[in-house]
Structure 1
Amino acid sequence: MSLYVDIRKKLGDFRLETQFEAAEGVTGILGASGCGKSMTLRCIAGIVKPDEGYIELDGQVLFDSKKNINLRPQDRHVGLLFQNYALFPNMTVRQNLMTGLKAEKTGKKEAEIRIQEMLEKFELKGLEKHKPAELSGGQQQRVALARIFLSSPRVLMLDEPFSALDGYLRWNLEQELLETLKEFGGPTLFVSHSRDEVYRICDRVCVMDQGSSSPVIPVKQLFEAPESRAAALLSGCKNFARARVTEKGRVTVQDWGETLFYSGEHGPDTEDVRYVGVRSHYIGLMGEKEAAAQPENTFRCRIDRVIDDVFSTVLMVTPEHAENSQESRKNHFNRIRVETTKEYWREFCEREFADRENPQDTLWLHVNPADVMVLR
């Protein structure tokens, strides 16, 4: 099965322009709040009508603005799990599950068999007469999923399913959900603003930024070689600077006042490069002698602040030749965040600084060419 989406929708000043294809397995839609993720799911489900475009599921056209096709939500066989689960508050668990069979021509005997199967599958036995307010967050989610599966969906769409849960419950439900998704044969769309959730749960990912979607790529590629600053930011990168490629394999980083070598199979065309990104935990620390012996991609920085974080040490530094323009300062392009283990920072200070409690105000940073991301 596969799902193809190419739609446009305007709401006030916001414009949604999204195009992607999702095959079997879990495709993540990753983006910040307000970027159009939930709106995309509602358009696919038929709750919201796009202004124009085309949606096709497993060969069946769900929406085609040119041919005036717009199937009703109940005819699309799309399962959408809302953030708040959308259970009917005045109905019991059993009654909520029964609503999942309304679109199905199911006899009473078969309906009872299927409901019992779902109660068993989602560990809801004994809760049949409870109303949503009497259930925990995890139980509510299981009821909502059971209701969706009773409707025999051809595609499953999960809209930030863990956003309303605390950390411990979120982790446990994530493990349960992974088992459920393994049994579902069709495509699944998993909407989230959490890169960690997407990395653990999804096979592929589509990044959305201000209403526009990027091509679907393998999840690991997003983290190893994102193509845009927006994608790199969502994947957790914290260091960016304006840059341009002067020649293949070399990039001039304007805000750092340095020229760096870079490598990598993925990335935008050289003329499209506008930024570099470097992940804070991929940056190496060097002393003066080591820096002199390995000058490539090594540059001197001033230590602005040393932060003792819970599980690591964070250094905020400014390159020696950093640009001091308003644009650089406003966007923090001229500062670099370096993250290392507490043990390594202690050893580095003991090795390089005479007084560990009062380290010198400068050090050298080194970035491997493979860790320099050139970005749109």
Structure 2
Amino acid sequence: MAPQKRRTGYLFQNYALFPNMTVAQNMAAGLAGERTDKNKEKEQIRRFLRLFQLESLEKLYPLQLSGGQQQRAALARMLISRPEILLFDEPFAALDSYLKEGLRMELLKILKDFNGISILVTHDRDEAFQLCDQILVLDRGNVIDYGDTKEVFCHPKTEMSARVTGCKNISRIKRINSHTFCALDWDEIILHTDELIEDNITFAGVRAHSFRQCSAQDARRLQKRGEANLIPVSDAAVSEMPFEWYVTLKNHLWWKIEKKVSGSMEKKEMPPWLYLPPQEILLLRDN
């Protein structure tokens, strides 16, 4: 089948605009093979130039455009052919973070109005979460997780899908009973979970923002009630970020806290304990 008849739009990582054609000519190339008269073709090109805010750039060549302008031109060329399926190969990989945010929002608007199927290949978890309704996680060609995007992010099933979705703390575990395990890579601390630990669970994960600060008094109260999941804060390494503190604990756990919650992380102001709510623990199987 000729490419023009496949009804498939493909946005390349480098946009693949024809360098010897202007923006308008690139868009006309997207209509190649369409049986439309010249007036209708020009009208359609003008409509897409307006839609993608390219009217003032229609006579420019790709090398005269910024990265964002090139992407908008490539999107317009792709959509003007009325595809039934859209394929995106890391469309924002070459852009700086500021430009990336704006173009993500533009693409999100386009996808909401598109009635066909869209497939996005990306290594950026924020991009996947923002743009995709469903997500499929691949590891060396094997599917290791699949489902609703929010569900996969909140409840990943495997060790690798937890890492891909941003979980910073992952440990091998030794099951003690149906709700208790020993975390082998976190100084063998004993942790309890609300969720049943099934036989195929071999890892546990904890997101860096899941810990709660705990005073010595609160820790004693929890211990008296028979509740554990207390982690001592000692010999912690603190790294300051613009809006957060990153704290690495002695037992290799990583804790992230917003500055508006804790203004300072000097040693004297560190909590003596961290509490890990049982419902915050991710139970994971091997890949």
The TM tier, using the shorter chain, reads 0.7 to 0.9
Structure 2 unaligned residues grouped into runs of 5+: none
Q: Please state if 1:154 is matched with 2:84.
A: yes
Structure 1 CA distance, aligned partners of 2:143 and 2:59?
43
Deviation at 1:243, TM superposition (A): 0.9
Question: Which residue does 1:112 correspond to in 2?
Answer: 42
Deviation at 1:225, TM superposition (A): 0.8
Q: Deviation per CA, 1:147-196, whole angstroms, max 9, x where unpaired?
A: 11122211111222222222222222222212211211111112221111
Q: Please state if 1:168 is matched with 2:98.
A: yes
Amino acid at match of 1:280: A
Deviation at 1:75, TM superposition (A): 3.7
Q: Would the aligned equivalents of 1:244 and 1:273 in 2 still touch at CA under 8 Å?
A: no
Identity of aligned residues (%): 36
Structure 2 CA distance, aligned partners of 1:199 and 1:183?
18
After TM superposition, the runs of 4+ consecutive aligned structure 1 residues lying more than 6 A away are none
Aligned mate of 1:366, from 260, 275, 284: 275
Structure with the larger RCO, 1 or 2 (CA within 8 Å, 6+ apart) = 1
Structure 2 CA distance, aligned partners of 1:358 and 1:260?
26
Q: Would the aligned equivalents of 1:97 and 1:115 in 2 still touch at CA under 8 Å?
A: yes
Deviation at 1:133, TM superposition (A): 0.8
Q: Deviation per CA, 1:223-243, whole angstroms, max 9, x where unpaired?
A: 211111211111111111111
Aligned mate of 2:189, from 246, 251, 258: 258
Q: Would the aligned equivalents of 2:13 and 2:89 in 1 still touch at CA under 8 Å?
A: yes
Structure 2 CA distance, aligned partners of 1:343 and 1:123?
39
CA 1:343 to 1:132, structure 2 compared with 1: closer, same or farther past 3 Å?
closer
User: SS in structure 1 opposite 2:254?
Assistant: strand
Amino acid at match of 1:375: L
User: SS in structure 2 opposite 1:303?
Assistant: coil
Q: Would the aligned equivalents of 2:145 and 2:156 in 1 still touch at CA under 8 Å?
A: no
Q: Would the aligned equivalents of 1:204 and 1:217 in 2 still touch at CA under 8 Å?
A: yes
Aligned mate of 2:159, from 229, 251, 254: 229
Question: Which residue does 1:336 correspond to in 2?
Answer: 253
Q: Would the aligned equivalents of 2:213 and 2:271 in 1 still touch at CA under 8 Å?
A: no
User: SS in structure 2 opposite 1:126?
Assistant: helix
Q: Deviation per CA, 1:5-53, whole angstroms, max 9, x where unpaired?
A: xxxxxxxxxxxxxxxxxxxxxxxxxxxxxxxxxxxxxxxxxxxxxxxxx
User: SS in structure 2 opposite 1:142?
Assistant: helix
Question: Which residue does 2:210 correspond to in 1?
Answer: 282
Q: Please state if 1:312 is matched with 2:240.
A: no
More strand by proportion, 1 or 2? 1
Query: Within 5 Å, which residues of 2 pair with 1:57-206?
Result: 73-206=3-136
Superposition CA RMSD, Å: 2.4
Deviation at 1:264, TM superposition (A): 4.8
CA 1:313 to 1:102, structure 2 compared with 1: closer, same or farther past 3 Å?
same
Aligned mate of 2:222, from 285, 288, 294: 294
Structure 1 CA distance, aligned partners of 2:242 and 2:146?
35
Amino acid at match of 1:262: T
User: SS in structure 2 opposite 1:95?
Assistant: helix
* Count of paired positions: 280
Q: Would the aligned equivalents of 1:303 and 1:362 in 2 still touch at CA under 8 Å?
A: no
- Stretch deviating more after TM superposition (169-178 or 301-310): 301-310
What TM-score do the two structures reach when normalised by structure 2? 0.88
Q: Deviation per CA, 1:311-364, whole angstroms, max 9, x where unpaired?
A: 122221124xxxxxxxxxxxxxxx0111123354458x8xxxxxxx55399932
Q: Would the aligned equivalents of 1:103 and 1:151 in 2 still touch at CA under 8 Å?
A: no
Structure 2 CA distance, aligned partners of 1:312 and 1:86?
39
Deviation at 1:369, TM superposition (A): 1.0
Structure 2 CA distance, aligned partners of 1:213 and 1:80?
23
Deviation at 1:82, TM superposition (A): 0.7
Structure 2 CA distance, aligned partners of 1:358 and 1:370?
29
User: SS in structure 1 opposite 2:16?
Assistant: coil
Q: Would the aligned equivalents of 1:157 and 1:190 in 2 still touch at CA under 8 Å?
A: yes
Structure 1 CA distance, aligned partners of 2:41 and 2:259?
59
Structure 1 CA distance, aligned partners of 2:109 and 2:181?
45
Structure 1 unaligned residues grouped into runs of 5+: 1-70, 320-334, 350-356
Structure 1 CA distance, aligned partners of 2:76 and 2:200?
47
